[in-house]
Amino acid sequence: MIIRPKHYEDLVFESGPSFIQIRVPEKITPRVFWEYSIADLESGSDSRHNINALANAKRSLHMLVDILSRAFGIDNLKTRKKANFPSKLRFCRDCGLTSPAILRKINKLRNITEHEYFIPKRSDVEDYVDIVELFLSANEGFLNQFPAGDMDWTFLAKTDDSLPDILGCDFPPYEGVIYLWQDRYQRKNSIEIKVQDKEPYFEWVQFIVNNCH
């Protein structure tokens, strides 16, 4: 039986987590690309400025989705080919990093702007830039504060007395594993919930994200 947060009544954080910084290129960040898109919009309204603004906003979104999906463990999934952007975006959704409403808006605008030689309308570009900014604001904090470990929690009761007492967890980036402690801060005695477990993994990730971010 794979344990889930719902198996523990009134599961709440008591202390933690410890945060770490995840790997980001030194010379450019998703926020910088987004700022370039704003500068493109502010410097003119012709097709060239619209195309450049859209391109930089897409770079911003794609870069952050790539960084976050890797940090939350997507590379540990056994897939036949490297994950593309839509699958990485869905992975971020499953981790609780974007709302369904934002995801729908991103997908709608992607369908409009994916043609290689498409000349976007100003209104579409502005909408895309705004949506990217919402995604950035909601998630770029993970770049400097990824909830990696030393999370301590309590619960009122278990749905089944045979379930183990879970006292906290570690969640190191990139590994795609959540280590649920049975003893305080003892990973060697922990229960491992892996990204390959799909739904249980995402439920624990969402629990961590909702309580730490």
Per-residue pLDDT tens digits for 147-157: 998 899 999 99
Residue 117, classified by CB atoms within 10 Å of its CB into exposed (0-12), middle (13-18) or buried (19+), is exposed
- d(CA 198, CA 93) in angstroms, rounded, equals 13
Whether 198 has a pLDDT exceeding 70, the answer reads: yes
Supply the pLDDT for residue 147: 94
Q: What is the mean pLDDT of residues 163-168?
A: 91
> Per the structure block, which two tokens stand in for 114?
């994916």
The pTM (predicted TM-score) of the whole model is: 0.91
Query: Which pLDDT band, with edges at 50, 70 and 90, does 120 fall under?
Result: confident
Task: Tell me the C-alpha distance between 115 and 104, whole Å.
Answer: 19
- Tell how many helices (H) and how many strands (E) occur in the chain: 7, 9
Q: How confident is the model at residue 116 (pLDDT cuts 50, 70, 90)?
A: low
What pLDDT is stored for residue 67 in this prediction?
95
Scanning the structure block, which residue is given the tokens 């009134």? 10
**pLDDT score at 114:** 67
pLDDT band for position 1 (50/70/90)? confident
**Residue 67 burial (CB < 10 Å; 0-12/13-18/19+)?**
buried
Mind listing the pLDDT tens digit for each residue in 63-98?
Answer: 999 999 999 999 999 775 668 888 999 999 999 998
| Burial track 163-183 (b if 16+ CB lie within 10 A, e otherwise) | eeebbbbbbbbebbbbbbbee
**Is pLDDT at 25 greater than 80 in this prediction?**
no
Per-residue pLDDT of 132-149, as tens digits, reads 999 999 999 999 999 998
Strands 177-181 and 151-154, bridge-based pairing = unpaired
